[in-house]
Structure formats: structure tokens, C-alpha cells
């Protein structure tokens, strides 16, 4: 029937609820920004991988290349363990395909005999399944520079430009997200710490009395740590929930309005492990925020106003 000191103190903390509520809103917003930037960079990365996997390399061969030389080059390329498939497309095949594509646009064009000479033979190279998107580009770059030095190779193309630009964009975006994340978490820590400081100030009289009658410092501090950790925990759970709702809304849009992008199956929410990790960080941040300002209490407040 007698409430423990701890219970009494927790219930006395509850009187601060307007302040605690606004903190909850602010900290939740901070956490939300962090989750959203994480989600964005994770999914942009996924799209990059997806597109990177589609990359193929076309190696155009010189007019005067001998079939034996071509054979040799093919074997050489196959030695590279990242290469999955190498396919020779002869002039005739290339022309046939070109004709097929062009027939409806310019039927006249194709009657010219010398057009045959304009379309070179080529090797189509695709990488093995096991390599991941980002490495793809690096492997292709390396392979291209090797192949360019071959005499029978006239040109190498693999759509490097736009993939490179996209991957660079993602790189900078991710760095920006990391920076924003750190700044925002710092801000959240600051906000939390200040709220606890306000809470400590408003409970000053209580702390003085507890000091005076010999309460252990840990007993004085614990309720504030609990307060900070609770705000941190609630905020992270709220932020995860809100971001999940936003995510569902957006993927729904990809499924309906933006179906042509064919992305919906490839996007994903942060996984459970990351959610748990994030909530622990969020909770921990709350506890740290409050520890930062309660560690200096119990150093004789009661005495100062004696």
C-alpha cells in the first residue's frame, strides 16, 4: 500500500506531460528524418543494383579481324571469372537484327549494299550472376580498359555514362544522408537533454530532499534516465510506424500509377534487425541525453540553498 520511492518519483515526473509530449513530437520527427533518409538510400542503392545487373558490354570488332583472332579474344575474355556469357554477333546477324528493327521506319535504306560494311561484328558480354550491382561497373570498367588495348577491338560500349552518373549521385546522396543523420541525431540528443534538464530543474526541491536524507545518487538519477529512455523508445517506435505507413503509401503508388518503372517488387522497408537496432539506438540516445544532465546533480544542491 505504500508506494515505493521510485513509483512516487515516476508519478511526480508525469506532471511534466505537456513538455514531454512536445519533446516526443520533436524527437519523433528527428528520428523520422533519419529513417526516411536511410530508407531512401537503401532503396536507391537497390535500384542501382537492379539496373547495374542489366548492364551488358558490346565490344565492336575491326573490319579486318580474322576469325581466328576473334576466337582467341573470346577465349581470353572467358578466362575472366566475372564474365558469364560471351556471344559473337557477326556482321550478318547484326544487319539482320538491324533490318528487323528498322524495316518499318526506312525500308529503302536497307536495300543499299554498302550498309553492310557500316555495321561491325561485335561480342556481347554479360557478367556472371554472382557479382553485385556496384561491382559490376568496376568490373566492366576494368574489362573495357583491357579490351581497348586489343588490336582487333575498335570500340567498347556499356552505357557507362548514365550508370556512372547515377551511382555517383547515390554515393553523394548517401553521404549527405549520413551527415544529416548525424546532425539530426545530435539535435535529438540536445533536445532530449534539455527536456531532462528542465525536468530536473522542476524536480529540484524533490532532489534536494532526497539528497538530504541520503538517497543513493543512482536512485535520484534513475527516474530521469527512465524518462529519457522512454521518450527515446516511444519516439523510435512512432517514427518506425509512421515511416512504414509512408512507405506503404509510396510503394502502393509505384504499383498503380508508376507501374511502368517495374520497381515495386524490388523496393523494401528496413528489415526487422535494423528496426530493432534503430529502436535501441533511439532508446539509448534518450538515456544518454538524460545521463548527460543528471550526472552532475546530487552535488549538494540542498547545500547551495541552505
Decide if residue 10 touches another protein (CB under 8 A): no
**Does 118 interact with another protein (rule: CB under 8 A)?**
no
Q: Which residues contact 245 (CB under 8 A, 6 or more apart)?
A: none
Q: State the nearest-atom distance from the C-beta of 50 to another protein, in Å.
A: 58
* Residue 239 binds another protein, judged by CB under 8 A: no
DSSP state of 96: H
For 54, phi then psi, to 5°, come to: -80, -10
- The alpha carbon of residue 240 and the mean position of all alpha carbons in its chain are separated, in whole angstroms, by 15
Cα 52 to Cα 17: distance, rounded to the nearest angstrom? 51
Go through the chain and tell me how many residues it has: 306
Per CB under 8 A, contacts with another protein among 181-220 are 205-206, 208-217, 219
State how far the Cα of 44 lies from the Cα of 177, in Å rounded to an integer: 12
Give the span between the Cα atoms of 220 and 10, in whole angstroms. 11
CB of 242 to another protein, least distance (A): 35
User: Can residue 14 be called a binding residue for another protein (CB under 8 A)?
Assistant: no
Nearer to another protein, 216 or 261 (CB): 216
8 Å CB contact between 199 and 91: no
Helix (H) or strand (E) holding 15, with range, is: none
Residue 273 contacts another protein per CB under 8 A: no
Told to check if 258 binds another protein by CB under 8 A, we report: no
Q: Tell me whether residue 5 or residue 142 sits nearer to another protein (CB atom).
A: 5
Span near another protein by CB under 8 A; candidates 2-10, 17-25, 77-85, 123-131: 2-10
37 contributes a contact to another protein by CB under 8 A = no
Applying CB under 8 A, the residues found at the interface with another protein are: 1-5, 8, 12, 15, 205-206, 208-217, 219, 298, 300, 302-303, 306
Amino acid at each position: 500500500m505504500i508506494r515505493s520511492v521510485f513509483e512516487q518519483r515516476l508519478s511526480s515526473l508525469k506532471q511534466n506531460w505537456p513538455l514531454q509530449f512536445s519533446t516526443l513530437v520533436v524527437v519523433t520527427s528527428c528520428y523520422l528524418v533519419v529513417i526516411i533518409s536511410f530508407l531512401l538510400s537503401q532503396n536507391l542503392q537497390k535500384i542501382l543494383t537492379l539496373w547495374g545487373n542489366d548492364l551488358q558490354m558490346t565490344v565492336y570488332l575491326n573490319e579486318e579481324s580474322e576469325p581466328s583472332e576473334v576466337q582467341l579474344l573470346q577465349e581470353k575474355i572467358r578466362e575472366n571469372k566475372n564474365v558469364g556469357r560471351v556471344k559473337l554477333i557477326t556482321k550478318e546477324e547484326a544487319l539482320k537484327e538491324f533490318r528487323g528493327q528498322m524495316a518499318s521506319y526506312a525500308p529503302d535504306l536497307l536495300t543499299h549494299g554498302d550498309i553492310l560494311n557500316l555495321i561491325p561484328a561485335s561480342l556481347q558480354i554479360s557478367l556472371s550472376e554472382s557479382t553485385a550491382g556496384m561491382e559490376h561497373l568496376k568490373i566492366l570498367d576494368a574489362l573495357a580498359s583491357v579490351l581497348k588495348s586489343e588490336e582487333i577491338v575498335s570500340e567498347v560500349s556499356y552505357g557507362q555514362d548514365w550508370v556512372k552518373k547515377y551511382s555517383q549521385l547515390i554515393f553523394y546522396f548517401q553521404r549527405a544522408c549520413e551527415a544529416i543523420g548525424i546532425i539530426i541525431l545530435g539535435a535529438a540528443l540536445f533536445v532530449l537533454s534539455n527536456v531532462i534538464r528542465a525536468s530536473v530543474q522542476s524536480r529540484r526541491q524533490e532532489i534536494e530532499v532526497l539528497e538530504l536524507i541520503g538517497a543513493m545518487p543512482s536512485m535520484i538519477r534513475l527516474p530521469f534516465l527512465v524518462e529519457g529512455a522512454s521518450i527515446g523508445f516511444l519516439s523510435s517506435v512512432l517514427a518506425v510506424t509512421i515511416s512504414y505507413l509512408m512507405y506503404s503509401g509510396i510503394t502502393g503508388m509505384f504499383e498503380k500509377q508508376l507501374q511502368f518503372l517495374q520497381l515495386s517488387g524490388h523496393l523494401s522497408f528496413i528489415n526487422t534487425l535494423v528496426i530493432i537496432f534503430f529502436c535501441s539506438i533511439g532508446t539509448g540516445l534518450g538515456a544518454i541525453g538524460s545521463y548527460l544532465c543528471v550526472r552532475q546533480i546530487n552535488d549538494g544542491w540542498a547545500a547551495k540553498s541552505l
